[in-house]
Amino acid sequence: MQFPAATPTAPAAPAPTALRVELGERSYPILIGSGLLHSPELLARDVRHRDILLVTNTVVAPLYADELERSLAEGPAHGGSNASRATRRIVRVVLPDGEQHKTLATAGRVFDVLIANRFGRDALVMALGGGVVGDLAGFVAACYQRGVDLVQVPTTLLAHVDSAVGGKTAVNHPGGKNLIGAFHQPRAVIADTDLLRTLPDRELSAGLAEVIKYGLIRDAGFFDWLEDNVEALLAREPAALAHAIRRSCEIKAQIVGSDEREHGERALLNLGHTFGHAIESAGGYVGTLHGEAVAVGMLIATDMAARLGLADAALLVRLRALLGRARLPLLAPPIGARRALEYMRIDKKVQSGRVRLVLPVGLGDATVSADYPDAALAETLGAWFGP
């Protein structure tokens, strides 16, 4: 196993790392480390609210919700006085598990709870879960009384490295994924790496797809490191996981800090997503995990780039090998090129009716392009999704 020069002797249980997303007065910390949920003092730095709505789901609640609520109840609230700690209210909402529940109807249930409990504008919504819980709770926080505070406590690898950071919140619509949403940055991201111990292997691999994405779009050295360390990551070696999460969050924080609303380089973070969303939407959001769809989508994007002469065909070979070793799928479902294109046409990157594609142009570099021959897209889609 090899680590980069910056972490040559990485300890087994690394100390917490604090990164920052720089967005002026809306800047916030990303705390990454082991045992964070057990640290009332640490939580209290960013969570001083009296009223907290803890949004989680049926899988995560029995694992971590009691523990988090205990730490919150022990920490100082609302300026730190004992009186206000005694009056802290934590209301828990447990959502059904699964991407198919990331809907307006589910969000409506959460609004009902906020209103029934008469939570005000000074309330905090805390998301304890993977990207589905985080996106939905974030959407609720963005809308309730025109916006209340949000803290993300991610519990999947994908949420640690991607969805908890950056302020994209959304729910799905039967017509397409993440079509209804808002930008709403959290006040803090508290990423306790211990929570990943209970994550199913398949979900860990799905998170690795987004980790590999960062190497592909921005950091060739990180991609090399992933090639050297993918088995250590699958074995959940703490130092390897900590490095992968930290480097991914550094890249994401830098991109979000310079292009919060996706007017430019943030679109690169969607590499593989336009093709991947077609896979997820066609499957009704069941069967294929988001990270798995992104993995196949990255292969399709790289293949398209190779067909256009933007990327070397060797890049596709290298990417396929790494995704395969990360135990990710390498083939698209046979939904047909025309159907895939229909789903791609309602992607949020469509401008003036034209699908903009994120295409790798070499290891560690990618571009967004609407300037490609339609025939090249049709050929690529046909090759992957069938006629």
Q: Based on CB atoms, which residue is closest to ligand NAD, 55 or 306?
A: 55
Taking CB within 5 to 8 Å according to partner kind, which of ligand NAD, ligand GLY, none is near residue 199? ligand NAD
State the number of binding residues for ligand GLY (CB under 6 A): 6
Q: How far is the CB of 8 from ligand NAD (least distance, A)?
A: 29
Q: What part of residues 268-327 is at the interface with ligand NAD (CB under 6 A)?
A: 290-291
Closest listed residue to residue 111, CA positions, set 164, 53, 150, 56: 53
* CB-nearest residue to ligand NAD: 131
Taking CB within 5 to 8 Å according to partner kind, which of ligand NAD, ligand GLY, none is near residue 276? none
Q: How far is the CB of 271 from ligand GLY (least distance, A)?
A: 9
Three-state SS letters, the chain: CCCCCCCCCCCCCCCCEEEEECECECCEEEEEECCHHHCHHHHHHHCCCCEEEEEEECCCHHHHHHHHHHHHHHCCECCCEHHHHHCCEEEEEEECCCHHHCEHHHHHHHHHHHHHCCCCCCCEEEEEECHHHHHHHHHHHHHHHHCCEEEEEECCHHHHHHHCCCCEEEEEECCEEEEEEEECCCCEEEEEHHHHHHCCHHHHHHHHHHHHHHHHHHCHHHHHHHHHHHHHHHCCCHHHHHHHHHHHHHHHHHHHHHCCCCCCHHHHHHCCHHHHHHHHHHCCCCCCCHHHHHHHHHHHHHHHHHHCCCCCHHHHHHHHHHHHHCCCCCCCCCCCHHHHHHHHCCCCCCECCECCEEEEEECCEEEEECCCCHHHHHHHHHHHHCC
Position 102 contacts ligand GLY (CB under 6 A):
no
Q: Which residue from 97, 227, 259, 265 is in contact with ligand NAD, where contact means CB under 6 A?
A: 97
Position 218 contacts ligand GLY (CB under 6 A):
no
Q: How far is the CB of 64 from ligand GLY (least distance, A)?
A: 24
Say what the alpha-carbon torsion angle 15, 191, 28, 222 is, to the nearest 10 degrees. 70
Q: Based on CB atoms, which residue is closest to ligand NAD, 96 or 324?
A: 96
Residues with a catalytic annotation lie at 146, 168, 210, 252, 262, 266, 270, 273, 277, 290
Taking CB within 5 to 8 Å according to partner kind, which of ligand NAD, ligand GLY, none is near residue 59? ligand NAD
Q: What part of residues 350-369 is at the interface with ligand GLY (CB under 6 A)?
A: none
The residue range among 20-28, 76-84, 193-201, 334-342 that interacts with ligand NAD, by the rule CB under 6 A, is 193-201
Q: Based on CB atoms, which residue is closest to ligand NAD, 124 or 293?
A: 293
Q: Tell me whether strands 188-192 and 149-154 are parallel, antiparallel or unpaired.
A: parallel
Q: What part of residues 11-50 is at the interface with ligand GLY (CB under 6 A)?
A: none
- Structure tokens, 11: 């300890």
Q: What part of residues 215-274 is at the interface with ligand NAD (CB under 6 A)?
A: none
Q: How far is the CB of 259 from ligand GLY (least distance, A)?
A: 9
Chain Cα centroid distance, residue 372:
29
Q: Which residue from 166, 186, 238, 360 is in contact with ligand NAD, where contact means CB under 6 A?
A: 166
Q: What part of residues 162-181 is at the interface with ligand GLY (CB under 6 A)?
A: 162, 166, 168
255-294 mask for ligand GLY (x: CB under 6 A)? -----------x--xx------------------------
Footprint of ligand NAD (CB under 6 A): 57, 59-60, 63, 97, 99, 102, 129-133, 135, 155-156, 158-159, 162-163, 166, 168, 178, 195, 198-199, 203, 206, 290-291
